[in-house]
Each structure stands twice: as structure tokens, then as C-alpha cells.
């Protein structure tokens, strides 16, 4: 009985310890493009397969990265700009953002607690 209680306590503690987006945590380089920032406290998870125009992909878990219904945190979008990435407004929406820098296009797909980063192959 003590083991069951201990296991339940550990499980509840682990669920409560998931990382939450915070601008104070800082940023690090993305796995697919070292010049693209991602929140430092995000965790890598298995990415989607690369198909079509997607040449590289990575997937990260971070609680509340997608915001509620307003889209991703403004501080994160500003940080991407500070790293030299220009928003591609005509291709973007609230939860899907495109950025370009030096002939490279990055697409970030935001969900509530997960975000995908894709490097897009240039159209020919």
C-alpha cells in the first residue's frame, strides 16, 4: 500500500513539474537551424516526418507556448526578430508563423503546449 501511495505521489509531482513558457528563462538555438531561437526551457520530442517542401523539422514541448486564442507570446516573436528573422506576414496566421533570413524560410506551428519548427525548402 505504501508503494502505491508513493508512486501516485511521484506521478502527481512529475505532472506538476512540466515547463511553462517564461521570457525570463532565455533562449537557445534550434536543433534544425542554429540561428533560430527557441525557449531555453522547452523539451525536444519526436518531430513530424519531413515531406513535401519541409526539409528539416523539430518539435518541442512547452506549456502555454501557444497561448490561449491570441497566439504565441509576443516576447518570443520579438526575440525571433532580434535574432535577425523577418516575419513573412502574407504567409502567416495567428498560430502559424513564417520567418525568413538569408534565403532560409522557417515555419513555426504553435499549439497550446507544443510547437513545431520547420525549415522550408525554397520554391523553384
pLDDT, position 117? 95
Instruction: Report pLDDT digits (tens) over 18-66.
Output: 577 777 788 999 989 999 999 999 999 988 788 888 899 999 999 988 8
pLDDT, position 68? 65
Q: Any idea of the CA torsion for 12, 71, 76, 120, to the nearest 10 degrees?
A: 110
Instruction: Report pLDDT digits (tens) over 72-119.
Output: 999 999 999 999 999 999 999 989 999 999 999 999 999 989 999 999
Predicted confidence band of residue 15 (pLDDT cuts 50, 70, 90) = very low
The domain segmentation of the chain, as residue ranges, is 19-120
Which three cell numbers, joined as nine digits, stand for 15? 505532472
Angstrom distances, CA of residue 8 to CA of 4, 13, 16, 63: 6, 9, 12, 22
Angstrom distances, CA of residue 83 to CA of 30, 86, 101: 12, 9, 10
CA distance 5 to 3: 5
| Single pTM value for the model | 0.79
Say if residue 13's pLDDT is above 80: no
Q: Shortest CA distance to 107 belongs to which of 33, 27, 29?
A: 33
Amino acid at each position: 500500500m505504501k508503494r502505491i501511495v508513493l508512486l501516485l505521489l511521484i506521478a502527481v509531482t512529475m505532472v506538476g513539474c512540466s515547463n511553462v513558457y517564461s521570457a525570463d528563462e532565455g533562449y537557445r538555438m534550434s536543433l534544425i537551424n542554429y540561428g533560430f531561437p527557441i525557449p531555453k526551457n522547452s523539451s525536444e520530442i519526436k518531430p513530424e516526418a519531413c515531406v513535401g517542401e519541409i526539409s528539416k523539422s523539430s518539435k518541442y514541448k512547452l506549456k502555454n507556448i501557444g497561448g490561449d486564442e491570441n497566439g504565441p507570446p509576443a516576447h518570443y516573436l520579438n526575440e525571433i526578430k532580434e535574432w535577425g528573422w523577418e516575419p513573412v506576414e502574407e504567409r502567416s496566421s495567428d498560430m502559424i508563423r513564417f520567418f525568413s533570413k538569408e534565403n532560409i524560410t522557417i515555419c513555426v506551428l504553435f499549439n497550446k503546449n507544443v510547437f513545431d519548427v520547420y525549415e522550408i525548402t525554397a520554391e523553384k
